[in-house]
Amino acid sequence: MWRRLYDWTLSLSAHPHAVFWLAVVAVAEASFFPIPPEVLLAPMVMAQRDRTLRLAMITTVFSVIGGVIGFAIGYFLIDVITPWLHSLNYWDYYLRVQEWYAEWGFWATFLAGFTPVPYKIFTIAAGAAHMNLPLFILASLLSRGARYALVAYLVRWAGPAMEQRLIKYIDVIGWLLVALIVIAVVVHQW
């Protein structure tokens, strides 16, 4: 099932309206869809190297819009979607993210943009925790923007071989970036 969904998403990158589909997948991934937009972003950058920055920005803006939708879901509908979170085995992630919001707030959202934990869990949890919406948007713009720019420029720089490796190792890259940010914050506070 997941492989078919992945293949379908990848096929959208060759569609004549690929930019539209990139925006749709970015919105959906941040609020409910399981496939990350990098699956479309990477092949689109390969096909349109001169539009790398534009594609990264489109992905970022629409991911943040999806994040705001996820925020609204958490803010207004957390009781309704709780069974869904359980059925997808996201409940433990959700509880952990709630703890992170209680302790870290802005930084939890900022780090969420890089982690392999599904971003939709963070967006929904931020809404359920009634996080400050402008801070949520700022943290999302910064982290998601950095993530998608990194992906786009790495794919542009390294070519098709990097595209396959990047998709395979995106979680590892995300955790390394989180570790670097945590180290920087700890060093700064120390």
pLDDT tens readout for residues 51-71:
999 999 999 999 999 999 999
Alpha helices in 48-118, H assignment, sequence order: 52-87, 91-104, 106-112
Task: Kindly state the tokens that stand for 2.
Answer: 């997941």
Average pLDDT, integer, range 73-98? 87
- At 104, the amino acid letter reads W
Global confidence as pTM: 0.76
| Residues listed for the chain | 190
With vertex at residue 78, the alpha carbon angle to CA 133 and CA 61, rounded to the nearest 5 degrees, is 40
Per the structure, how many domains does the chain have? 1
Least confident of 43-47, 105-109, 115-119, 168-172: 168-172
Task: Kindly state the tokens that stand for 149.
Answer: 């720019």
Model confidence at 1, in pLDDT bands (50, 70, 90)?
Answer: very low
Domain that holds residue 18: 2-189
User: What is the C-alpha separation between 101 and 62, in angstroms, rounded?
Assistant: 23
